[in-house]
Homo-oligomer: A and B are copies of this chain.
Amino acid sequence: MEVIIKVARDSDPGLVAGAIAGVIREGKRPQARALGPSAVNQALKAVIMAHHYLAADGVDVICIPEFSDIEIRGLKRTAVTLTVEPRDTNHGS
C-alpha cells in the first residue's frame, strides 16, 4: 500500500524522513512527492536521512524515482515521486 508524502520547498527534511521511516516500519510503501527543484532537493535529503534512520534498525532501503503527472488548480504539472522500499522487496509489491 502506497502512502503519498507531499514535500514542499520549505518542508523540514528531518520530519519528512521520520514520516518515510514510519511508513516503512508499518510495512507500507512511502512515496515522497515534490514539485520543483527546491522541493525535489528537500525530498531527496529526506530519503537520505530516512535511509540512515532505517539502517540503524537494520533495514536497508532503496529509492525508485519517477515522474508523476499531477494537476494543480486545473494545470498539468510534472512532479517527481521518490518511492522508498526495503531492498529485498519484490517488484510491484
Chain A contacts to B: CB under 8 angstroms:
36-38, 40-41, 44-45, 47-48, 51, 60, 62-67, 80, 87, 91
Contact = CB atoms under 8 A, between A and B. Distances in A.
**How many copies, total?**
2
A62 B62 contact: yes
8 contacts: A40-B44, A41-B80, A44-B44, A44-B65, A48-B67, A51-B66, A62-B63, A63-B64
A28 to B, nearest CB: 18
A8 to B, nearest CB: 13
Contact of A40 (B41, B66, B91): B41
A45 B40 CA distance: 10
Contacts of A48: 65-67, 80
Contacts of A64: 51, 62-63
Contacts of A51: 64-66
Q: Choose among A37, A60, A67 the residue with the greatest number of B CB atoms under 10 Å from its CB.
A: A37
